Amino acid sequence: MKVPLRKRERGLHFNITPLIDIVFLLIIFFLAASHLARSETAQAVELPEASRQLEESQLPKRVVVTVTAEELYFVGGNEVLLPQLAELILKSKEDAGDEEMEVQIRADRTVPYRAVEPLMLACVEAGITKINWAVLPVR
Per-residue pLDDT for the chain (139 aa), expressed as one digit of tens each?
677 777 767 777 788 999 999 999 999 999 988 877 776 666 677 777 777 655 555 545 788 899 998 989 999 888 999 899 989 988 888 888 777 888 999 998 899 999 999 999 998 988 888 888 887 776 6
> Which 3 state secondary structure label does DSSP give 98?
coil
Give the per-residue pLDDT at 26.
95
DSSP string, 30-74: HHHHHHHHHHTT-S---PPBPSS-PPPP--SEEEEEEE-TT--EE
**Does domain 61-133 bear CATH number 3.20.20.100?**
no
Q: Tally Cβ neighbours within 10 Å of residue 27.
A: 10
Predicted TM-score of the model (pTM)? 0.58
Return the bridge partners of 79, or none. Answer: 74
